[in-house]
Structure 1
Amino acid sequence: MQQFKILFFCFLFVPTVFMAQDSDFSNDVKDYLESNGSMQQYEYAYDQLMIMMEGRYPKSEGNKQGWSYLEENKPKALADIKNLMVPIYQANFTQGEIKQMAAFYKSEAGVLLITDRAKMTEVHKEELNTFYNSAVGQKIISKQEVLTTEISKVSEGWSRDLYETSMSLLKNG
């Protein structure tokens, strides 16, 4: 009976702990992707595709439903690419490293690095150098090639699917 209780505990409690940790780790990666500018780039890519599609398939009564879908689908499409990128970061960094990376990009120096590098002061540049000379910064640099390759694959698939969906919804309208 005691063994049954231990097994029961393991089957119920242990997976919940691991799922909660994984969920926290996933959320930390998602937070990092928001803070480092990645998601703004995907949002821009989505918007640019819609501009291109509108040039090819102007809004009309015939394609009204397709356009409505694409406009409403934007948050889901962005969530999809974010979810596709989470495993890439989880495979290459620890949760603690991801938190450190997000913290840097939320700092004044990190925000300016993404938004307007011309406004970076010498102090900001020193903070940037300090970050990239840290263990986490060095790991980012060492993983750059792997990250670029893996993220490119995921991004290309996402872009291709989005383009094909857009075409199929709008060209028949």
Structure 2
Amino acid sequence: MKIVYALMLSLALITSVHAQDDDYVIAVKECIVSNGTMAYYDTVLEAMVEDIKTEFSSHTIPDNVWESVAREKEFAKNGLAIMLSQAYKTYFTLEDIEQMNGLYTSKAGRNMLQKKTLSKEEVKTLDAFYNSAVGQKIQATQSDMSASLRRLAKIWINNTSNKMVTLLSEQGYSL
């Protein structure tokens, strides 16, 4: 009976940890959508597809094959969120990310990110946030976090590009 209880407890803990990880990735994905990171990588993906089209320009590749390559972009964006969540997890708790999301989706946060002129009230909101524990943590880890994100982004770009080229190769097209 003790073994059954131990197994059930282990399963509950594993399920709980996995659910927390899912919540964390979802929160990070919301964060990188809100703060403009995902929009930046959308342009990176578009440029990547155009570069691959140029590399394969000697082939007559039908539109439906290019559409399958383009569909890979959605998988790639989810993979990006998962990868970047590992960098965030080094420095920030789920609660920290949720506070960031609250800021980035507020009027003050959106205006800050869009580099719009801020009202006095918005400046107060931003000052209060960046003077909070989470704001201080963001400022203290900014350099290390940026380096981690750049490193992970390079890996993600290489993996995504290789996946797209592999999709073309599987269809019989090669460089």
> Which bracket does the TM-score occupy, shorter chain normalised?
0.7 to 0.9
| 8 Å CA contact retained: 1:109, 1:125 | yes
Residue 165 (structure 1) shift: 4.6
For 1:8 and 1:55, locate their aligned partners in 2 and report how far apart those are by CA, in whole Å: 55
Corresponding residue number in structure 1 for 2:140: 142
Corresponding residue number in structure 2 for 1:151: 149
Q: Which moved more, 1:26-35 or 1:131-140?
A: 26-35
Distance 1:89 1:123, change over 3 A: same
Q: CA deviation digits over 1:97-142, x for unaligned, max 9?
A: 111011100101111222x313433322332222112111110011
Corresponding residue number in structure 2 for 1:43: 42
For 2:103 and 2:6, locate their aligned partners in 1 and report how far apart those are by CA, in whole Å: 43
Structure 1 unpaired stretches of 5+: none
Structure 2 unpaired stretches of 5+: none
| 8 Å CA contact retained: 1:63, 1:172 | no
Number of equivalences: 171
Q: Which amino acid aligns with 1:122?
A: K
For 1:93 and 1:132, locate their aligned partners in 2 and report how far apart those are by CA, in whole Å: 15
- How much is the aligned-residue C-alpha RMSD, in angstroms? 2.6
TM-score where L is the length of structure 2: 0.82
Q: Which amino acid aligns with 1:27?
A: I
Residue 93 (structure 1) shift: 0.6
The answer on 1:29 being equivalent to 2:36 is no
Write out aligned runs for 1:16-165 (5 A). Answer: 16-55=15-54, 57-58=56-57, 61-62=60-61, 64=63, 66-114=65-113, 116-165=114-163
Q: Which amino acid aligns with 1:131?
A: F
TM-score where L is the length of structure 1: 0.83
